[in-house]
């Protein structure tokens, strides 16, 4: 195992500040680096990405993902899902209920009347077993017990983070189960391409393109209505790049239901499961860019509509709409919509997913 974390870093985080013991399992900080001088910092508590250090057009590095600078603040964050792994089920399930093999399952209710992101003790709040393979690869493993948070089946999960020389942060997910169950994993990165600061700048001037002709409308509790709606003529049309803020407060029922953008986009795919382009954002002041590629059929776009300026890393504060999330995943509430792409995993199958966040600059 490579202990590259012991060497100096540019994110200014201390490994000892992330070390504690929770239920007999040790937390730590892991640093991924590449040969062009960029780095990603991850803790095995919830798989939280606490730093992505990337240069602007002048070559100046900043942390472009929201996070905390010590383990207690990660655990007690006002935003429990801040840049963490999400499971067993990303997004919402209506009233926390679903049927499988003729049996009804009841999950924890933790978001209005609904279940959200795997429940209060979902994968974001677990200590994962970590193995750093080399300077640019971290492997996390977790066993989710039968009945945990109300889900059926024992689930064994592996997540691999890799930082490439092309400034791609690749996240690969694999899982198996011993009983038929449902699964929908994602990474809930809160991206702030301008760099986190006090206060972190708004994302409303980001130029955003999303490769989706359709999106899923939601009801007042953020559950999909079941309709798959064309983006044309709506605030959800990002097929040509436009500023995030252009329509974020539009007089539109769906914008009101989400308090901004908090919707799943149906990604354009040539074939199921292909790794393809999902989105691109450009931060005009710094020149930083990010592209998203994924094998998943959907992507929840969340514009941080509920943040209140809480404190983050190194004195940074996170006001409302200071981050954007691109959560590659299957659709919300799929178990209650039979014609959505299936989220069922059987004992003889392997769940696999890959999402890439590619960082760059425009001059």
Catalytic: 188? yes
Beta carbons within 10 angstroms of residue 142's beta carbon: 19
- What number of CA atoms fall less than 13 Å from residue 245's CA on the CB side? 11
Spatial contact of 124 and 46, defined as CB atoms under 8 Å apart: yes
Residue count (the chain): 363
Angstrom distance (rounded) from CA 26 to CA 338: 41
Closest CA to 211 of 245, 243, 240: 240
Angstrom distance (rounded) from CA 159 to CA 251: 40
Q: Encode 311-342: b = buried (16+ Cβ within 10 Å), e = exposed.
A: ebbbebbbbbbbbbbbbbbbbbbbbbbeebee
Instruction: Tabulate helix, strand, coil % of the chain (nearest 5).
Output: 10, 40, 50
Catalytic residue among 188, 283, 291, 296: 188
Catalytic: 327? yes
Catalytic residue among 68, 148, 327, 330: 327
Question: CA 43, 144, 78: angle at the middle one, nearest 5?
Answer: 45
Spatial contact of 166 and 255, defined as CB atoms under 8 Å apart: no
Q: Encode 221-242: b = buried (16+ Cβ within 10 Å), e = exposed.
A: ebbbeeebeebeeebbbbeeeb
**Burial, 219: exposed, middle or buried (Cβ in 10 Å; 0-12, 13-18, 19+)?**
exposed
Q: 328 φ, ψ to 5°?
A: -70, 130
Closest CA to 15 of 39, 38, 31: 31
Beta carbons within 10 angstroms of residue 24's beta carbon: 6
Spatial contact of 327 and 299, defined as CB atoms under 8 Å apart: yes
Task: Name the residues annotated as catalytic.
Answer: 188, 327
């Amino acid at each position: 195992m490579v202990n590259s974390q012991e060497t100096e870093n540019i994110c200014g985080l201390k490994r000892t500040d992330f070390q504690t013991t929770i239920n007999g399992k040790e937390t730590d900080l892991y640093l991924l680096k590449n040969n062009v001088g960029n780095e990603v910092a991850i803790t095995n508590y919830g798989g939280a990405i606490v730093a992505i250090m990337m240069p602007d057009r002048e070559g100046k590095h900043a942390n472009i993902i929201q996070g905390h600078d010590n383990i207690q603040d990660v655990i007690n964050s006002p935003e429990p899902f801040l840049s963490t792994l999400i499971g067993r089920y990303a997004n919402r399930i209506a009233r926390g209920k679903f049927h499988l093999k003729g049996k009804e399952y009841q999950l924890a209710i933790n978001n209005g009347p609904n279940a959200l992101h795997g429940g209060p003790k979902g994968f974001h709040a677990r200590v994962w077993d970590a193995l750093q393979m080399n300077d640019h690869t971290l492997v996390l493993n977790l066993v989710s017990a039968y009945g945990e948070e109300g889900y059926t089946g024992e689930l064994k999960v592996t997540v691999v983070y890799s930082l490439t020389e092309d400034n791609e942060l690749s996240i690969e997910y694999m899982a198996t189960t011993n009983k038929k169950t449902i699964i929908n994993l994602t990474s809930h990165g809160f991206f702030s391409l301008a760099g986190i600061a006090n206060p972190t700048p708004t994302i409303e001037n980001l130029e955003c393109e999303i490769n989706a002709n359709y999106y899923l409308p939601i009801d007042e509790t953020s559950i999909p209505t079941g309709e798959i709606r064309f983006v044309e003529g709506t605030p959800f049309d990002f097929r040509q790049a436009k500023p995030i803020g252009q329509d974020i407060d539009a007089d539109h029922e769906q914008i009101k239901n989400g308090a901004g953008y908090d919707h799943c986009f149906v990604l354009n795919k040539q074939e199921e499961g292909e790794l393809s382009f999902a989105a691109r954002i450009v931060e005009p002041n710094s020149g930083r860019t990010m592209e998203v590629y994924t094998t998943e059929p959907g992507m929840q776009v969340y514009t941080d509509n509920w943040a209140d300026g809480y404190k983050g890393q190194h004195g940074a504060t996170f006001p409302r709409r200071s981050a954007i999330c691109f959560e590659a995943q299957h659709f919300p509430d799929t178990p209650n919509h039979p014609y959505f792409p299936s989220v069922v995993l059987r004992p003889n199958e392997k769940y696999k997913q890959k999402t890439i966040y590619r960082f760059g600059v425009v001059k």
